Amino acid sequence: MINVLFAAHSSRWPQYEGPLRAAFKAVGLEVDLREEFAPEDVDYIVYTPNSPLTDFTPYTRAKAVLNLWAGVESIVGNKTLTMPLCRMVEPGLTEGMVEWVTGHVLRYHLGIDACLAAQDGTWAPVFPPLARNRRVGVLGLGELGATCAGALAALNFQVAGWSRSEKFLDGVTTFHGADGLDQVLATSEILVLLLPLTPATENLINADTLARMPQDVRILNPGRGALIDDDALLAALDAGHVAHATLDVFRVEPLPPDHRYWAHPNVTVTPHVASETRAETASETVAENVRRGEAGEPFLYVVDRARAY
């Protein structure tokens, strides 16, 4: 019997208990899944960073911590977490992100906001360019970023993607390193942020990088709130250099009611809905990693502690 501790936030237990049990059964594992175990009896820990569990020292038998979130920035530095930490990658999360990103890129591309605002009886058609003449940049080419970049390329957008290290994607012009970042920033009419949050990416969108972007750039951030220096973005919006921003993630969530983003005419706030981990498909990822652990195979999506993702 394999002992799996469900140490994610307790509000997730009703959502995940059934799908996890079904997923473990589907891969042929006999699992005792509970919210409580003696720490020394636990083989695997299913986790979310908002869990009350912060000290992993007593879990001497645990083979891995399996995170239900894609983001690990709030836990990767935990000194007591010495076993492998696996982030969540699952089809539902990826599909949802692709839908959010492509939807909002198309919204910007087609000028939907202007149409919604122009309902005063004035007939004033404005025709957008074709997608093949619209330049879209994607910062971050991990699982989510690469899939979104590919989906945008499939819609015939000119897509430029940037990552820390060199990558190649069909239909996407890829860049890496500092020089590559400058090229993507300088040419993107619509910029999508899908980077992990690390010391190197925090405040990457700041007064300096914003100044390198074209006039009237539009910014989408479904990645991490702290990728953006909020004061710098607001200043660029106020000055008219950035035409609009659609923001799904923030440094503090829920976003405080008095935050300037709510009232700014050129900001759209979406309340962290760009994508959600789906219990059924996420449970399959968890079960596969437990199966791998028991079979002595490498875990999927292991976090590189040095890179913090």
Domain that holds residue 146: 92-269
Instruction: Kindly state whether residues 200 and 220 are assigned to the same domain.
Output: yes
Residue 305 domain-assigned (yes or no): no
Q: What is the pLDDT of residue 308?
A: 84
User: Is residue 87 annotated as a catalytic residue, yes or no?
Assistant: no
Q: What is the pLDDT of residue 307?
A: 86
Percent of the chain scored above 90 by pLDDT? 97
Number of domains in the chain: 2
Q: What is the pLDDT of residue 243?
A: 99
Measured distance CA(192)–CA(101) in Å, rounded: 8
Q: Where does residue 170 rank: exposed (0-12), middle (13-18), buried (19+ CB within 10 A)? A: exposed
Of 21, 241, 259, 272, which residue is the catalytic one? 272
Instruction: Kindly state whether residues 62 and 99 are assigned to the same domain.
Output: no
CB atoms within 10 A of CB 181: 19
Taking a C-beta distance cutoff of 8 angstroms, is the pair 37, 5 a contact? yes
Which residues of the chain register pLDDT less than 50? none
DSSP for 251-299 reads SSSSPPTT-HHHH-TTEEE--S-S----HHHHHHHHHHHHHHHHHTPPP
Instruction: Kindly state whether residues 237 and 209 are assigned to the same domain.
Output: yes
CATH assignment at residue 222: 3.40.50.720
Tens of pLDDT, residues 70-99: 989 989 999 999 999 999 999 999 999 999
Residue 306 domain-assigned (yes or no): no
User: Is residue 212 annotated as a catalytic residue, yes or no?
Assistant: no
- Amino acid identity, residue 78? N
Q: What is the pLDDT of residue 306?
A: 84
Tens of pLDDT, residues 228-248: 999 999 999 999 999 999 999
Residue 304 domain-assigned (yes or no): no
Taking a C-beta distance cutoff of 8 angstroms, is the pair 159, 134 a contact? no
Q: Where does residue 260 rank: exposed (0-12), middle (13-18), buried (19+ CB within 10 A)? A: middle
Of 104, 107, 224, 244, which residue is the catalytic one? 224
